[in-house]
Structure 1
Amino acid sequence: MINHIQPPQAKKALKTLSIHDDERQDDYFWLNERENEEVIDYLHAENDYYEAMTAKYKDFEHSLFQEMKARIKEDDSSVPYKFNGYWYIVKYEIGKDYPIYLRKKDALNNPEEVLFDCNIMAEGYDYFKLVGLSVSPDNAMIAFGIDTVGRRNYTLQIKSLVTDEVFSDAIPNTTGSATWANDNKTLFYTVKDEKTLRSDKVFKHKLGTSYSNDLLIFEEKDDTFGVAVYKSKSKKYLIIACYSTLTNEYHILNADIPDGEFTVFQERIRGLEYSIAHYENQFYIVTNADGAVNFKLMKTPEDRTQFNNWIEVIPHRAEVLLEDIDIFKDFLVISERSNGLNHIRIKRWDGTEDYYLPFDNETYTAYTATNVEFDTNILRYGYNSMTTPSSSIDFNMETKEKTILKEQEVLDPNFDKDNYASERVWATAADGVKVPISMVYKKGIKMDGSNPVLLYAYGSYGHTIDPYFSSIRLSLLDRGFIYAIAHVRGGEYLGRMWYEDGKLLQKKNTFTDFIECSKFLISENYTSPKHLYALGGSAGGLLVGAVINEAPELFNGVIAAVPFVDVLTTMLDDSIPLTTGEYDEWGNPNDPTYYEYMKSYSPYDNVKRQDYPHMLITTGLHDSQVQYWEPAKWAAKLRVYKTDDNILLLKTNMTAGHGGASGRFEALKEDAEEYAFLLDLENIHS
């Protein structure tokens, strides 16, 4: 495809990067100079080129946005949940981009109390995010965090729910989350390192005092760990969590004694992962101890928490991944996964019942939802599938009665979930392993190789992308697209080993799995290379970048959102946010073995003189997860190396970070941009 608008060309300024007697040449290293006007000018030039190249279908893009927006109930509210005597609700109003947080005392027919109207708070900001709402036990105070840049760096404040006064004293550079001791006046919170943004300190604040006088309670010195602080659901313990990719350590303190000393629950042992939940005089522990790859459940007395006191409750099972537990007064709820599918198991503490909630689909997602009350027989869970909108359900664990509280409304008179079909198929990976693919499409399409397919994957950190419903996605399905999710290794869809086989020195399995899934969809006549598209974001953008270096001929187009593509340079710079905590995922390239392996797949280092698919690359100037310069450098290098006339677009959101725009409708505009790009490549403009 020949275009007559000339793309910008970033200047070259050669920098040689040397380690392990190896040299890499980087012409675009200078783009990481955030304060350099020339860098900003280049990003603006790329944005101008993006606007020029997409001008021909801007009206269609706008109509897509309106179409997506029209399916969403604007005057919507969340299903209320009860906590400590109040019902909590999140509400949206017509024409407004941000949520309103409310509560009602005792009963839902009582007057509402507005905690925060984010529409008012967001005025004057291009980006706004409110997080970490934490109400004091006496319901009189609320702590909260605000980010107005998009860098996930929150300013923490406290508001009186009696007088509505927001205290002027504020602390910057926090995670935005905090938790109250049971005395209603002591608040524990976490602070980030100003440069790396690693959460590394826990402070204690007393109401009525200045934050400048707050006491440092805990500091995490190991730069591969982060910290968090929270309270057990039983409300008895304050808990400091120290976490890395492969190792956990917890410190506990009776929440009635906030000036006491935290004690170590079980000191860290590299490779020992565990999480804790308190019930009566015991702690329950989900752990991989003793080689329990898929995790098991153990318990220990609250006054003897060291590992040698742990007793097995639910043993390790080779075919079942134990993902989480929810503890109630009379019931234990266990979230499991087997053969890729979610299962919710309910056990009475007295041993008289043990059963599973019934689900009968292969492309569904089920999960326990907001269950903050301890003394209740009601379990709230969520359910959706690739064809079924999300439902919020209350399940009475005693009577087994199910109440659907809310099903997501799709405000489209033509929408009927029975018009769509979903299925799960299995591709064969390069090493013979079977890789599942979940897909959805409109009924009646012919599998003759002519269908456009958007294939999505993530494949890192053990994060599983479950098959889920999306009203936005209907804009593709109704125009003939098949949407597919490749459950590649690196996630935990098929258990913990599915993750282990897609990380560190096995990382390339993630990429080859995706390639084989693509070939499968082509060979089975779902699509063809002229109509196959790849989508990935963040670590999924790394996946897309690696795949198109190796097999560009399989795809007509790709979308790489905030892609992590300059793997080596980033992982060798421990001043960049997240780097040190990532060594257990990717490897530490200061070790020559990991360096060579990472170099062999790093998308930026492996750009070749070859044809590439049409490409849309997106980033955010304030991204703290994947710095903007990674996709910017990648786009600049691709422009020089690629030997085709296909479209290459780089779009930088100059006012946002990793998650994109903050308003719900502003975020929809980004979806419309991506869909318009794909549909234009299929010559679909209505």
Structure 2
Amino acid sequence: MMTTTQPPVAKKVPTERTHHGQTFIDDYEWLREKENPEVIAHLEAENAYTEAVTANQEELRQRIFEEIKARTVETDLSVPARKRGWWYYTRTEEGQQYGIHCRTAAQDTGDLHADWTPPVVEPGVPVPGEQILIDGNAEAEGKPFFSLGGLAVTEDGNLLAYSEDNAGDERFTLRIKDLRTGELLPDVVSNVFYSLAFSPDGTRVFYTVVDDSWRPYQIKAHTLGTPVEEDTVIYQEDDVAMWTGFDLSADRTQLLIGISTSEYSEYRVLDFDDPTGTVRTLIPRSERILYEAEPFTRDGVREYLITHNRDALNSMVSLVAETEFAKPVAEQDWRTVVAHNDAVRVNGASVTSTHVLVSVRKETTERVQVLPLEGLGTPAQASPVEPAFDEELYTAGLTNAEYDSPIIRLSYTSYLTPPRVYDYVLASGELELRKETPVRGGYNPADYVAERDWATAPDGTRVPLSVLRRAEVTRDGSNPALVYAYGSYEISMDPAFNISRLSLLDRGVIFVVAHIRGGGEMGRAWYDQGKKLHKKNSFTDFVAATDHVAASGWVDPARIAAMGGSAGGLLMGAVANLAPEKYKAVVAQVPFVDALTSILDPDLPLSALEWEEWGNPITDPEVYRYMSEYTPYENIRPVDYPRIAAVTSFNDTRVLYVEPAKWVAKLREVTTGSEPIVLKIEMEGGHGGASGRYEAWKDRAWDYAFVLDALDAQDLLPSAGSPVQTSR
């Protein structure tokens, strides 16, 4: 039942935007004036309307929140990971929003198994010798928002660097803590970005700075005990289309500076033992090669593992001696470590002192391959070994590999298996399960089914779908469905367990992940076919997935909803314009729905970096024309739009609040339907919403309740039961 409450009506202030001879009249651009009291008042009115029009969902939201809470072991610990002489871990406590970062001393007895077996830590049981590095709950007290950016510990374990954001705008303040005394050093650096790292000798801390458009462009070094004004710029990138980041090499001999777009990159390296502080280029960007570099030293010779796309669409791994980089690329000797394969996407490679670890994607699935350094790049090179798992749809990734460690740490999850932590013994290939994240409330994976299905796009391309449901749901054409996708930046929607999703499945919803073009699930070509002047494939793939689901015999075509966030929110806006009649409801989370306006202004956050994804409409009239044909805000038309919720945050720096605010205002103005269109805006959150895990659960419960109410699927299936009742 919907209330008759009237939505707020934004005033119209026509603004002209002219490019390539085309003029667009934008009536709601004035909502960009973030400091304007009239804008604030309008947004608050939107929240009030949303609250009123969805008031009937409050009880359902509370039930879903309680289900998430009841299934979550709130007092829990991560599996300790060893770095030098310490085991590091994070624990959470019931009733507290944030994690507590801790460590306890490791031992070196010479017994490999004993020294690398993590200590057994149990929820609620004090850990002998535990030292708290930083307690997020204490740090967040009295602050409207709290998020940790980076954490770094010196090699000797004495100092901790951490950064925190108290607004949600992803500008962090860097502080240094002496772990021997618990005291904060006087060193404080404001307005840093995420990455942090100490130099190996612990005298300097490296950090990233963003420019006015939120682009990481400087790598700086702060020497402890000196004024911030004297911090050294190690590297500055002036090309507004390039993103800059850094890391320490695995062997801790170099600072690796990566400058990249989605299509080519450049690495610059700083040797820590070079007194001149010279930053050297490996392969210049002029070669237009997309690559990553990882150095290691073998028999006194420094070599680099290069993961690259040189004559290799899906990338490959080559071995290059450091001396080769002095020659023109065409004359360099690159020895193949992992050959190119049309069916295998190579994502990256890292090293330990004894092995190479390669991340690949095969048959849509992310997995890890291991091969010894001995014989690498020669005919004697061993074949890679891949830790084996027994599910069809899963995700396995490398989470920790200290350079001198005899083990590597792997994460594993699937749609039905809660996250697991494995230790893989490099010498023997033995796989040891360290932990499976517990789920309370009697969760049984056998109660659910996860299957692979395929839809056919208008151009004949087969689009993979992951279809999740309760095992007892019958194929009678009556079930509700939620179709979810992202489809941009070569990011894959990989199989992963999600406690909150159980609240949908337990209400009979068939949950479908559409692995549309623009993502990375099927290799680099899959991404290329969903970007720039092929972007519309992402949208038509999603509609094709919806049609397939509707015709599958499982689902009632009148009970299908759609959900996506950020670039997936652009997807939601586009499919709402393309096929509004196919969806009962659409939830667009932090949606990039005014993409053309944003990308036309290089001074807006991250806009220039987007040209490699969407094209540059400023200089290219064809890109402008193509984008203008799909940008959601500019293609709203007089049709019956479904029930729509745009969910955003006032301080989001990646997708500004103004985009969904304008979109909602225009949708309401133009729609010929009567379904409510609402804007929910978190006034103190960032791109990920409000801070704290309970607030995140409430956000998810809100989104799901909106969908379930629209699909008339508010009640649990009789067989599902309630975790709230069984977990006490």
TM-score range, shorter chain: over 0.9
Give secondary structure in 2 for the equivalent of 1:176: coil
User: Hey, what's the Cα distance between the residues in 1 that align with 2:131 and 2:625?
Assistant: 58
C-alpha contact (below 8 Å) 2:561/2:711 kept by paired residues: no
- Is 1:292 the counterpart of 2:292 in the alignment? no
Runs (4 or more) in structure 1 with deviation over 6 Å come to: none
C-alpha contact (below 8 Å) 2:560/2:711 kept by paired residues: no
- Aligned counterpart in structure 1 of residue 477 of structure 2, from 449, 456, 467: 449
The answer for the alignment partner of 1:269 in structure 2 is 286
- Is 1:318 the counterpart of 2:352 in the alignment? no
Deviation of 1:352 (Å): 4.6
Deviation of 1:168 (Å): 3.4
User: Hey, what's the Cα distance between the residues in 2 that align with 1:70 and 1:462?
Assistant: 35
User: Hey, what's the Cα distance between the residues in 2 that align with 1:5 and 1:547?
Assistant: 27
Give secondary structure in 1 for the equivalent of 2:555: coil
Deviation of 1:183 (Å): 2.4
The answer for the alignment partner of 1:209 in structure 2 is 226
Structure 2: unaligned runs, 5 residues or longer: 108-118, 120-126, 375-380, 716-728
Give secondary structure in 2 for the equivalent of 1:376: coil
Give secondary structure in 2 for the equivalent of 1:59: helix
User: Hey, what's the Cα distance between the residues in 2 that align with 1:399 and 1:359?
Assistant: 17
The answer for the alignment partner of 2:43 in structure 1 is 43
Deviation of 1:110 (Å): 4.7
Deviation of 1:665 (Å): 0.9
Q: Which structure 2 residues correspond to residues 474-553 of structure 1 after superposition, within 5 A?
A: 474-553=502-581
Give secondary structure in 2 for the equivalent of 1:660: coil
Paired-residue identity, %: 39
Give secondary structure in 2 for the equivalent of 1:362: coil
Q: Give the counterpart letter for 1:119 in structure 2.
A: N
- Is 1:365 the counterpart of 2:395 in the alignment? yes
User: Hey, what's the Cα distance between the residues in 1 that align with 2:666 and 2:288?
Assistant: 39
Alpha-carbon distance change, 654 to 270 in structure 1, aligned in 2, over 3 angstroms? farther
- Aligned counterpart in structure 2 of residue 663 of structure 1, from 683, 692, 695: 692
Give secondary structure in 2 for the equivalent of 1:58: helix
The answer for the alignment partner of 2:322 in structure 1 is 302
User: Hey, what's the Cα distance between the residues in 2 that align with 1:328 and 1:218?
Assistant: 27
User: Hey, what's the Cα distance between the residues in 2 that align with 1:452 and 1:253?
Assistant: 56
C-alpha contact (below 8 Å) 2:509/2:713 kept by paired residues: no
The answer for the alignment partner of 1:342 in structure 2 is 366
- Aligned counterpart in structure 2 of residue 279 of structure 1, from 293, 296, 303: 296
Superposed CA offset, 1:15-47 (max 9, x none): 111111111011100000000011010110010
Q: Give the counterpart letter for 2:320 in structure 1.
A: T
C-alpha contact (below 8 Å) 2:480/2:510 kept by paired residues: yes
Paired residues in the alignment total 682
Q: Give the counterpart letter for 1:333 in structure 2.
A: L
- Aligned counterpart in structure 1 of residue 609 of structure 2, from 567, 570, 581: 581
User: Hey, what's the Cα distance between the residues in 2 that align with 1:616 and 1:278?
Assistant: 48
User: Hey, what's the Cα distance between the residues in 1 that align with 2:272 and 2:78?
Assistant: 30
Q: Which structure 2 residues correspond to residues 671-686 of structure 1 after superposition, within 5 A?
A: 671-686=700-715
Superposed CA offset, 1:102-145 (max 9, x none): 11122447501111011010011121011211111222212111
Superposed CA offset, 1:504-559 (max 9, x none): 00000000000001000111122133111100000000011101101111111110
Give secondary structure in 2 for the equivalent of 1:529: strand
Give secondary structure in 1 for the equivalent of 2:592: coil
Q: Which structure 2 residues correspond to residues 209-248 of structure 1 after superposition, within 5 A?
A: 209-248=226-265
Alpha-carbon distance change, 132 to 2 in structure 1, aligned in 2, over 3 angstroms? closer
User: Hey, what's the Cα distance between the residues in 1 that align with 2:276 and 2:661?
Assistant: 49
Q: Which structure 2 residues correspond to residues 82-481 of structure 1 after superposition, within 5 A?
A: 82-107=82-107, 108=119, 110-193=128-211, 195-257=212-274, 260-269=277-286, 271-280=288-297, 281-289=302-310, 291-305=311-325, 307=329, 308-350=332-374, 351-352=381-382, 354-371=384-401, 373-413=402-442, 415-481=443-509
Give secondary structure in 2 for the equivalent of 1:422: strand
- Aligned counterpart in structure 2 of residue 653 of structure 1, from 665, 675, 682: 682
Deviating more after overlay: 296-305 vs 211-220: 296-305
TM-score under structure 2 length normalisation: 0.91
Deviation of 1:341 (Å): 2.1
Q: Give the counterpart letter for 2:305 in structure 1.
A: Y
Deviating more after overlay: 15-24 vs 343-352: 343-352
C-alpha contact (below 8 Å) 1:396/1:402 kept by paired residues: yes
Deviation of 1:611 (Å): 0.6
User: Hey, what's the Cα distance between the residues in 2 that align with 1:390 and 1:440?
Assistant: 17
Deviation of 1:326 (Å): 3.0
Deviation of 1:353 (Å): 5.3
C-alpha contact (below 8 Å) 2:187/2:225 kept by paired residues: no
Deviation of 1:234 (Å): 0.8
C-alpha contact (below 8 Å) 1:331/1:377 kept by paired residues: no
Deviating more after overlay: 662-671 vs 243-252: 243-252
Deviation of 1:159 (Å): 1.5
Q: Which structure 2 residues correspond to residues 6-21 of structure 1 after superposition, within 5 A?
A: 6-21=6-21
User: Hey, what's the Cα distance between the residues in 1 that align with 2:278 and 2:205?
Assistant: 15
- Aligned counterpart in structure 2 of residue 633 of structure 1, from 662, 674, 684: 662
- Provide the alpha-carbon RMSD of the alignment: 1.5
Alpha-carbon distance change, 400 to 309 in structure 1, aligned in 2, over 3 angstroms? closer
Superposed CA offset, 1:193-243 (max 9, x none): 1x2111111222211111111122221110111222221011111112212
C-alpha contact (below 8 Å) 1:34/1:40 kept by paired residues: yes
User: Hey, what's the Cα distance between the residues in 2 that align with 1:51 and 1:416?
Assistant: 35
The answer for the alignment partner of 2:592 in structure 1 is 564
User: Hey, what's the Cα distance between the residues in 1 that align with 2:489 and 2:674?
Assistant: 36
TM-score under structure 1 length normalisation: 0.97
